[in-house]
Structures are given as structure tokens and as C-alpha cells.
Amino acid sequence: MATMVMAGQQIRETQGGTGARRSLSVAERNRTLFEQQRARRRGPTPEMFFSKHIDNSRLVKEDDPERRRDVRRFTITMTLFFLLMMVYVWQHFSAIEVGYRVEAQKTQVEMLQEQNRQLELTEAQLSDPQRIDRIAKQLGMESPQPGQVVRADGMGGSSAVMAQAHVPVLAGARTGN
């Protein structure tokens, strides 16, 4: 309020035709205005503020249906937005988790392929005919005589061997009731 009074005085002074005011520079005029404001603020009496207790406990707020509708719309909109964000976040984290599982399974497949290759190499070394022959001679075995070896696939033997099936008889079973 003091600023408005000062501005009013300044306008009157500039319109009043005082030549001394017009010749002052802007900085000097601002400095004098500032000093006047400080002097008026400090004034002879300090500013006093009193608090007044207002009791609004007996007031009843009237229901506004338009505001209620706006709040309901806002709540529904924010709930839908929140649910959509949660679905997006869930999908994002699920995709990341699936990516980690795929990488883990790729690593496991590579490890199992390497293990399979090692096992195939071991099988090839153990089934080497020269190695088997050497171990058989160390154990005192001899080469088989012609006709002594019968293969299951029918190759290499001169005489055909017929497979026979025997039906086992159950102990304690009686044939006549």
C-alpha cells in the first residue's frame, strides 16, 4: 500500500512541472524512492497484526453434484491409466525374464552339446578295435575260429540260427479247474 502511495506522489511530482525532478537521473530517482520507502516502512509505529479466531465448525458444506462427477471421472481415468501402466510394466518385466530364461537355456544347450561331443569322442576311443584286441590278448583271449561267431544281424555266419522262445510256466499254476 505504501508503494501505491509513493507511485501516486511520483506521478503528481512529474506532472507538476518541477524541473529539478526531470533533470535527475534514473538511478538517483530510484535511490531517493527507495530511501523514502524505507523511511515509511520503519515509521514511528511498528506494524501490528492481530489474529482473529474464526469458528467454522457449524458451517455445512453444500454438496456439489458437478464437482462430484468431475472427481469420479478423474478417479476412473487415473485408475484406468494406472492399470494400463501396470500391464505395460508387467509385460516389460515378463519379456526381460523370458529373455534371461532363453539365454540360460542357450547356455545349457551349448554345454550339453559340448558334453555330448566329449562322450562321442570317449565312445570312439573305447570302441577302437585295436584297443579291444590289445586288451583281449592281455586277458589271455584268442581270436575266434571260423564259424564260432554268430552275429545278430545275420551277417558273417555261414549257418543260420533260429531264435526260439520258451514260455515260462508259473509255479503253482494248475491246468484243470
- Do 78 and 49 reside in the same domain of the chain? no
State mean pLDDT over 32-53: 72
- Do 130 and 76 reside in the same domain of the chain? yes
pLDDT band at 84 (very low <50, low <70, confident <90, very high): very high
Q: Is residue 148 part of a domain?
A: no
Say how far apart CA 57 and CA 92 lie, in whole Å: 51
Q: What is the DSSP string of 52-117?
A: -----TT--PPP-HHHHHHHHHHHHHHHHHHHHHHHHHHHHHHHHHHHHHHHHHHHHHHHHHHHHH
**What is the number of domains present in the chain?**
2
Q: Is residue 58 part of a domain?
A: no
State mean pLDDT over 38-44: 65
Residue 24 near residue 55, CB atoms below 8 Å:
no
pLDDT of residue 3 exceeding 80, the answer is no
pLDDT of residue 156 exceeding 80, the answer is no
| Residues 6 or more apart whose Cβ sits within 8 Å of residue 124 | none
* Domain range enclosing 75: 71-138
pLDDT at 77: 98
pLDDT at 66: 93
Q: Is residue 168 part of a domain?
A: no
Q: Is residue 158 part of a domain?
A: no
pLDDT at 177: 46
Q: Which one is predicted more confidently, 5 or 128?
A: 128
Q: What is the pLDDT of residues 9-22, one digit of tens each?
A: 655 555 554 555 55
pLDDT of residue 60 exceeding 80, the answer is yes
| Residues 6 or more apart whose Cβ sits within 8 Å of residue 84 | none
pLDDT band at 171 (very low <50, low <70, confident <90, very high): low
Q: Which residues of 83-101 are buried (b: 16+ CB within 10 A; e: fewer)?
A: eeeeeeeeeeeeeeeeeee
> How does the average pLDDT of the chain come out, rounded?
80
pLDDT at 121: 95
Say how far apart CA 103 and CA 105 lie, in whole Å: 5
Report the candidate in 141, 144, 146 with the shortest Cα–Cα distance to residue 159.
146
Say how far apart CA 68 and CA 30 lie, in whole Å: 53
Q: Is residue 117 part of a domain?
A: yes
Q: pTM of this prediction?
A: 0.39
pLDDT band at 145 (very low <50, low <70, confident <90, very high): confident
Say how far apart CA 135 and CA 162 lie, in whole Å: 32
